[in-house]
Amino acid sequence: MAGSEYVTCFPEVREPLLNLKGGPGKNKRLLPAPFDTSGAHDLPGTRDLPDLPDVSEVETVRHFTRLSRLNYGIDHGMYPLGSCTMKYNPKITEEIAARLAPIHPADTEAMEPVLKRLAQLQDHLGKICGMDACSLWPAAGAHGELTGMMVISSALKSRGEHRRTVLIPDTAHGTNPASCTIAGFATKAIPSGEKGYLEASILRQHLDQDTAALMITNPNTLGIFEQEISAIAGLLHENGSYLYMDGANLNAIMGITRPGDMGVDCMHVNLHKSFGTPHGGGGPGSGPVLVRKDLEPFLPTPRIVCNGSGAYVLEEEPYPESIGKVHSCLGNVSVCIKALAYILSLGPRGLREAATTASLNALYLKNRLKKLFDLAYETPTLHEFVLSDTLQKEGGVTTMDLAKALMDFGFHPPTVYFPLVVAGALMIEPTETEPLEELDRFVRAMENIAAMSREEPEKTHESPLAAPVFRVDEVWAARNLTLTWPDKRIQPEEKGI
Amino acid sequence: MSYISHNGEDLGKILAAIGIERPEEVFSSIPPALRCDADLALEGPKDEESLRRDLDFRASRVAFAGGGIYRHHIPAIVDALASRQEFVTAYTPYQPEISQGTLQAIFEYQSMMAGLTGMEVSNASMYDGATALAEAALMALRIKGIRRVAVTRAMQPSYRRVLRTYLAHAEVEAIVEVPFDPVTGQTDLVALEKSIGPDTALFIQSPNYFGVIEPMEQVTRIVSNTAGFWGIVVTEALSLGILKAPGEYGPDVVVGEAQSFGNPAGAGGPLLGFFCTRKEHVRRMPGRVAGLTKDREGSQAFCLTLSTREQHIRREKATSNICTNQGLCALRAAIYLSAMGPEGLKKTALQCAAGARFLKGLLMDKGIAPVFSAPVFHEFVIPMLEDRLNELKSTGIVPGVLVSEQYPEIPGSVLVTVTEMNTQEECRWLAANM
């Protein structure tokens, strides 16, 4: 059983750093040279030749191709990172977005149809979320949070109020408190109830006249729908506070229920999660912000408007209450166009089907895995669920071991040690695009790992064995901080590698 | 189109395993009052051919537009390699054993950016140059004694506006703008000296928004002994191929925009903010960073490091809230720099400078003098009314970016940019149609 599905064919090569390759004169690229450069020698303060690798085209291609083979992506297999919504990224959306490449934003003729489509995305996100207005400029989820909290801060100021505390449930993403701090707020963590969702009665104890807002993720990072959300919104509004929703988990509820109907005042969505745009190994993402009517004046500039002659243009003024610009241009435009293409591709029913299937797939895994691993909460869940290493820890096997062992079965591990409310958490989100065969393969891998944890626990500490490198020493990296390639004068062995 | 793989049989098995009859039952935990009854009023579904037809975008024929976003040659291998799905469809490399490709590429990007800027450290990227500047200012304000921020008025207007947005929510005593000399287009050094002190973090852009190269030797003499903290902003990374590495002037940070390195103009984004600093500031630095390490057997490996500064560990005390950055854009920059090499980058930078001088000569022959007298890199301000600018745009030629909108003190002015993507013929055509 165990071992029968081991992956044994990860790449065979270990690729040296680019600066150790090539040599003077290797790069023979013929470059566009329309001008006579003899006139350009009046430049003040010039440099010697920049210190870059001098490699041929073939060496560049081999280098980055080999590096790519050391990576695991969605197109390899299931990537069940909880709250990251690693769903399949449609290729057609990439093809469409590539058409934007040659357009300079000052090219107003070419930009008009782009702005028209961006306006459509704003409209469609508004309808999906049940919100009144949208700004597409935040370049990532955390940027959206920051923008949203600045909107709330400015709205409070315009009301002549100086509320400085934002309440954040203990299940929240780390970006929530960090974004609040940069927006000038103090944060206070509040416990979610025993059932894994925030109870209105708990919130009530923490509300006072300094409460600016509650920042909540719904469904939350345990995969649980915040059942008391409407009562929570009511309490906040009665208290003069705002309800901010982190839309990281919107994929679970698209077309099913709308944050606007829950009483949410301000929220962001992650286009690189719910709307199928690729994560790119760490961006570019996109984190549009949506608000209710009363917060619209505070949204960032520029605004997309349809002028008298029916053309879409950008306006910086007059928006005296706007928080201002949050990006030098228009955020991650091509990511927005990919997300629009995704929405148009699926249509309203397709979005519903995606949300429904995301939960079906997660519940299927949960039901099959809860016999083998400790399930942190019995409360019904949607698109993701959290297991822990409680049953395996007795034999000395930790969540980290379980995660690394999964690599040897050809899977990316789930999100680990998060949310913080579950010790040794394994947060699993398969998404709607996983075929049943892949879900079953994942179950078999987890069964194998559970058996290995009982029978040969020490073996799990050694995993991964089939990945391009063995377990990586992250402590060594922090203690021997090396953030650029070693100076050519220093040999790698002197650094102890 | 649907990207769901289940057929009816699969669905039946899944429902049976969960123990429900109909798929909608998965939502039983959502209060019925909150559920949508009808389909949302969205367009779609559409097949691929309809999407291709409906989402059709095209650029104008000729453009001399820059001003922070630039059109440069992108070698074919950049798209070919950066579109490999192993890079595109991976998440942030939190699991280093199966993310060595992304991690090593980030490490190489950091190394090349640190080398080009002449700084010791680079992070893994920021959203864009403007947010890199804003984060640099926030970093400076966390240093004891720094209470004011000064920026040059000749700095890219959108950067100054983003900076103001961020600082409106931070503890800062004043934000000062240092004026420029209306004749040369360079920052007024007398005013600069008066604007700064040990409590000030100064940021100066060179080449500045007018394309003018600031007198960095003199600036350094004034600033290095006076300002509590200072940074150089570079909005055209390609200038690093020919101009002295800004780090040689001794700033605390060099931040800016590296879109020019292998990333297209792209209708305005994604861009690529870079953030370089000195080792002494590394624990205050915002954003992710990849570090060298070893695996259990002692082999070379890479992982994200210094994460105790970051939001997922430090939460409200993090140095920044940034999480997802511009990873794939940084990868493109790394591939681009590898493709161009030292000679290629320098030659291309020289082409840009030469192109600007060629166009300037043609305009001078027609009696059109640039607005500013100081030397430029590859863009310069010319007198042109907004109406004329728009007229030319409607004929499929973009002569530049309107400057007077952001600088009422320079009415009727346009910033014209020449890169290696323009031809002599295009320059002649523009000069003839002024």
Q: Are strands A289-291 and A133-135 parallel, antiparallel or unpaired?
A: antiparallel
Residue A71 pairs with which residues in a beta bridge? B99
**Eight-state DSSP code of residue A252:** G
pLDDT of residue B432: 94
DSSP B293-319: EEBTTS-EEEEE--GGGSHHHHGGG-S
Q: CB of A222 within 8 A of CB of A248?
A: no
The amino acid present at B217, given as its one-letter code, is E
CA distance to partner chain A, nearest, from residue B191 (Å)? 22
pLDDT for A489: 38
* Closest residue on chain B to A341 (Cα): B51
Share of chain A above pLDDT 70, in %: 95
Contacts of A464 in chain B (CB under 8 A): 97-98
Whole-angstrom CA distances from A140 to A299, A390, B120, B177 are 16, 34, 27, 29
- The tens digit of pLDDT for each residue in A183-202 reads 999 999 999 889 999 999 99
**Omega before A318 within 30 of 0, i.e. cis:** yes
CATH match for B62-71+342-432 among 3.40.50.10490, 2.40.100.10, 3.40.50.920, 3.90.1150.10: 3.90.1150.10
Which secondary structure element, helix H or strand E, spans residue A231, and what is its range?
helix A229-238
Residue B37 binned pLDDT confidence (cut-offs 50, 70, 90): confident
Q: Which helix (H) or strand (E) holds B353?
A: helix B327-365
Min Cα–Cα distance to chain B from A1, Å:
23
Q: Is residue A3 predicted with pLDDT exceeding 50?
A: no
Sort out which chain A residues have CB atoms less than 8 A from B384's CB and list them: none
**Banded pLDDT at B315 (limits 50, 70, 90):** confident
A239/chain B closest Cα distance in angstroms: 22
Flag whether the pTM goes above 0.95: yes
B-chain residues near A188 (CB < 8 A): none
What are the chain A neighbours of B290 within 8 Å (beta carbons)?
483
Best CA proximity match to B202, nearest among B213, B191, B286: B191
| Dist. CA B366–CA B133, nearest whole Å | 39
pLDDT band, very low/low/confident/very high, at B225 (cuts 50, 70, 90) = confident
Residue A75 confidence (pLDDT) above 80: yes
Q: How far apart are CA A371 and CA A382, in angstroms?
A: 19
Residues of chain B with Cβ-Cβ distance to A142 below 8 Å are 311, 321-324
CA angle B38, A214, A297 (to 5 degrees): 70
Lowest mean pLDDT among A32-41, A97-106, B113-122, B189-198: A32-41
- Domains of chain A in start order, with CATH, are 92-344 (3.40.640.10), 348-469 (3.90.1150.10)
Q: Which tokens in the block code for residue A395?
A: 């034999």
Could you say which of B28, B271, B375 has the minimum Cβ distance to residue A328?
A: B271
Residues of chain B with CATH 3.90.1150.10: 62-71+342-432
Chain B residues inside the 8 Å CB shell of A180: 316
pLDDT at B176: 97
**Best residue in B316, B378, B379 to probe A by mutation, most A CBs within 10 Å?**
B316
Task: Give the tens place of pLDDT for each residue, A374-428.
Answer: 999 999 999 999 999 999 999 999 999 999 999 999 999 999 999 999 999 999 9
β-bridge mates for residue B295, sequence order: A472
A433 touches chain B (CB under 8 A): yes
Res. A495: pLDDT tops 90: no
**DSSP codes, B84-100:** -HHHHT---S-SGGGBH
Give the residue on A whose Cα is nearest the Cα of B127. Answer: A139
How distant is the Cα of A388 from the closest Cα of chain B, in angstroms? 18
- Report the residue from A67, A110, A327 with minimal CB separation from B128: A327
Identify the CA nearest to A214 among candidates A230, A197, A236, A234: A236
How many whole angstroms separate alpha carbon B192 and alpha carbon B188? 6
Q: B88: which chain A residues are within 8 Å (Cβ-Cβ)? A: 73, 89, 94, 278, 280-281
Assembly ipTM: 0.97
User: pLDDT tens digits for A316-338?
Assistant: 999 999 999 999 999 999 999 99
Q: Does A210 touch chain B (CB under 8 A)?
A: no
- Inter-chain CB proximity A332 and B122 less than 8 Å: no
> Six-digit token pair at A341?
């293409």
Residue ranges of alpha helices (H) inside A296-417 are: 333-369, 390-393, 399-407
Is the CB of B321 less than 8 angstroms away from the CB of A179?
Answer: yes
Residue A226 forms contact with B (CB below 8 Å): no
SS3 A383: coil
CB B4 within 8 A of CB A431: no
Residue A408 at interface with chain B, using a CB cutoff of 8 Å: no
Q: How many helices (H) and strands (E) does chain A have?
A: 15, 13
Identify whether the C-beta of residue A139 lies closer than 8 Å to the C-beta of residue B127. yes
Query: Distance (Å, rounded) from C-alpha B1 to C-alpha B5?
Result: 12
b vs e for B223-260, b when ≥16 Cβ sit within 10 Å of the residue's Cβ? beebbbbbbbbbbbbbbbbbbbbbbebebbbbbbbbbb
Amino acid at B372: F
- The arithmetic mean of pLDDT across residues A263-269, rounded, is 98
Which segment of A105-119, A136-150, A208-222, B296-310 scores lowest on mean pLDDT? Answer: B296-310
pLDDT band at B138 (very low <50, low <70, confident <90, very high): very high
Residue A89 clears pLDDT 70, i.e. is over it: yes
Contact B299 A470 (CB under 8 A): yes
What is the CB neighbour count within 10 angstroms for residue A28? 10
Q: What's the mean pLDDT in B267-289? A: 96
Burial class (CB in 10 A: 0-12, 13-18, 19+), B19: exposed
Q: Which residues of chain A does B95 touch, with a Cβ-Cβ cutoff of 8 Å?
A: 403, 407, 412-413
Measured in whole angstroms, how far is the alpha carbon of residue B163 from the centre of its chain? 14
Residues of B in contact with A27 (CB under 8 A): 339-344
B-chain CB neighbours of A69 within 8 Å are: 86, 101
pLDDT band at A6 (very low <50, low <70, confident <90, very high): low
Q: How close, in Å, is residue A453 to chain B by CA atoms?
A: 20
Helices (H), B126-282: 129-141, 157-167, 189-195, 216-223
Residue A118 in tokens: 């961006």
Task: Determine the residue type at A9.
Answer: C
CA atoms of A168 and A182, how far apart (whole Å): 15
Instruction: Tell me the longest C-alpha to C-alpha distance in chain B.
Output: 83
CATH class (in words) of the domain with range B76-336: alpha beta
**Weakest mean pLDDT among A490-494, B287-291, B320-324:** A490-494
Closest partner CB to B375 (pick from A42, A86, A381): A42
Q: CB contacts < 8 Å between A and B, how many?
A: 686
State the pLDDT confidence band at B311, using cuts at 50, 70 and 90.
confident
CB–CB of B259/B272 below 8 Å? yes
- How many Å apart are CA A66 and CA A203, to the nearest integer? 52
Mean residue pLDDT across chain A? 94
When pLDDT is averaged across residues A335-361 and rounded to a whole number, the result is 98
Say if residues B149 and B175 touch (Cβ distance below 8 Å): yes
Q: Which residue has the tokens 């490999």?
A: B84
Chain A, 265 to 304: residues with Cβ < 8 Å from chain B are 272, 276, 278-285, 300
Q: pLDDT at position A494, please? A: 46
Residues A141-148 have a mean pLDDT of 98
Give start-end residues of each CATH 3.40.640.10 domain in chain B: 76-336
Per-residue model confidence (pLDDT) at position A1 = 39
Q: How many C-alpha atoms does B12 have within 13 Å on its Cβ side?
A: 3
